[in-house]
C-alpha cells in the first residue's frame, strides 16, 4: 500500500500549473553576490540591477563604481538610481535629482520630478498613467491614485504600479505568519496567494510575487501573472526572501537576491517572452 502511494505521488504534479524558473522555464542567468538582483529596471534592450550595480546591453555588461544602491529605475528613457545615503541620481550623466535619505520609497516621474513616501511600509510609483501611493498609519494603509482614494484597510509593505494602464496594489498581510496576501486592481481584479505567500510584496512585468514560502509543499516562491499565463516558481531561496520583477523589450527579469545552491548568492533570471 505504501509503495503504491509513493508511486502515485512520484507520478503526479506536486505543483500543478506551476513551472520552475531555470528548469521548466528556460532562462538565461546572471549571478552575483548575495543581495544582487534586489532591484531591476530596463528599457530599449538594456537593463540595470542592484546591488552591486550592473548594466547590461546587447553585447556588453559592466559593474559600476557607484556606492551602495537601494533602487534602480527608468523615467522617460532616463536611468536613475537611489543610493543608500539618500542621493537620487541620473545614471547616464551623474546629475543629482534629489536627496531622500529618510524616505521609505522613491519614484521618479516622467518629468524627472522625484516623489517619496516617509512612513514605514509606504510605497509610491509614478508614470505616464499617474501617481499611485499607499498612505499608512500603524500598519493600516489606504491607496491613492492621484487625488482619489481607491482602497482602504490595506496592509503595509505592499507594492504599487500599473498593469496595462490599470492601477494595481499589493496587500501582503505581513502581520500574519501565514498571510496569503493579495493583489487588487482598480478594474476589480483580485488575485489571492496561497497560505504563507504574502502575495503583493512585488509587482512588475505583469506579475506579482511574495516571499519564499515554507508553509506549502514543496516550499517555493510563487510568481503569479496578473492576466493570462502560467505561475512561475523559485524553488531555491532563503526563507522569507523576496524577488524583484521588471520587463524590457521581450524579456521578463526576475531578481532573486537570496538564491541558494550550496551557498547563498544573488541570481537574475532573464526569460524570453513567448
The pLDDT of residue 63 is: 64
- The pTM of the full predicted model, rounded to 2 decimals, is 0.92
Does residue 147 have a pLDDT over 50?
Answer: yes
The residues spanned by each domain of the chain are 37-108, 119-274
- The overall average pLDDT reported for the chain is 91
Does residue 9 have a pLDDT over 60?
Answer: no
Q: Is 221 exposed, middle or buried (0-12, 13-18, 19+ CB in 10 A)?
A: buried
The pLDDT of residue 43 is: 83
Does residue 105 have a pLDDT over 70?
Answer: yes
pLDDT in tens, 174-226: 999 999 999 999 999 999 999 999 999 999 999 999 999 999 999 999 999 99
Residue identified by cell 543629482 is 96
Residue identified by cell 508511486 is 7
Nearest to 236 by CA among 15, 52, 19, 21: 21
Is domain 37-108 annotated with CATH 2.40.10?
yes
The pLDDT of residue 6 is: 36
The pLDDT of residue 61 is: 53
DSSP 213: B
Give 46's strand partners. Answer: 43
Decide if 172 contacts 200 (C-beta within 8 A).
yes
pLDDT band, very low/low/confident/very high, at 4 (cuts 50, 70, 90): very low
pLDDT band, very low/low/confident/very high, at 12 (cuts 50, 70, 90): very low
Distance CA 86, CA 265 (A): 25
pLDDT in tens, 34-81: 999 999 998 877 889 998 898 886 444 566 678 889 999 999 989 999
DSSP 217: S
Pairing of strands 231-234, 221-225: antiparallel
Give 177's strand partners. Answer: none
Decide if 223 contacts 254 (C-beta within 8 A).
yes
Decide if 106 contacts 114 (C-beta within 8 A).
yes
Query: Using omega within 30 degrees of 0 as the cis cutoff, is the peptide bond preceding 26 cis?
Result: no
For residues 10 and 154, which has the higher predicted lDDT (pLDDT)?
154
Amino acid at each position: 500500500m505504501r509503495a503504491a502511494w509513493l508511486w502515485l505521488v512520484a507520478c503526479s504534479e506536486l505543483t500543478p500549473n506551476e513551472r520552475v524558473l531555470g528548469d521548466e522555464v528556460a532562462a538565461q542567468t546572471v549571478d552575483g553576490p548575495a543581495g544582487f538582483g534586489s532591484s531591476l529596471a530596463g528599457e530599449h534592450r538594456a537593463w540595470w540591477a542592484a546591488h552591486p550595480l550592473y548594466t547590461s546591453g546587447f553585447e556588453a555588461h559592466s559593474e559600476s563604481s557607484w556606492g551602495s544602491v537601494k533602487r534602480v529605475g527608468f523615467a522617460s528613457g532616463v536611468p536613475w538610481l537611489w543610493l543608500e545615503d539618500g542621493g537620487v541620481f541620473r545614471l547616464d550623466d551623474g546629475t543629482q535629482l534629489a536627496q531622500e535619505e529618510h524616505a521609505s520609497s522613491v519614484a521618479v516621474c516622467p518629468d524627472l520630478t522625484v516623489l517619496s513616501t516617509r512612513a514605514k511600509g509606504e510605497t509610491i510609483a509614478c508614470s505616464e498613467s499617474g501617481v499611485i501611493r499607499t498612505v499608512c498609519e500603524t500598519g493600516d494603509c489606504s491607496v491613492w491614485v492621484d487625488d482619489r482614494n481607491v482602497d482602504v484597510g490595506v496592509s503595509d509593505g505592499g507594492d504599487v504600479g500599473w498593469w496595462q494602464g490599470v492601477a494595481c496594489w499589493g496587500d501582503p498581510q505581513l502581520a500574519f505568519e501565514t498571510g496569503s496576501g493579495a493583489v487588487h486592481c482598480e478594474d476589480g481584479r483580485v488575485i489571492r496567494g496561497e497560505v504563507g505567500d504574502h502575495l503583493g510584496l512585488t509587482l512588475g512585468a505583469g506579475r506579482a510575487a511574495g516571499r519564499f514560502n515554507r508553509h506549502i509543499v514543496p516550499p517555493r516562491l510563487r510568481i503569479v501573472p496578473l492576466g493570462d499565463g502560467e505561475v512561475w516558481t523559485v524553488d531555491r531561496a532563503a526563507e522569507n526572501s523576496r524577488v524583484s520583477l521588471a520587463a524590457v523589450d521581450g524579456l521578463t527579469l526576475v531578481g532573486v537576491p537570496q538564491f541558494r545552491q550550496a551557498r547563498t548568492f544573488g541570481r537574475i533570471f532573464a526569460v524570453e517572452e513567448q
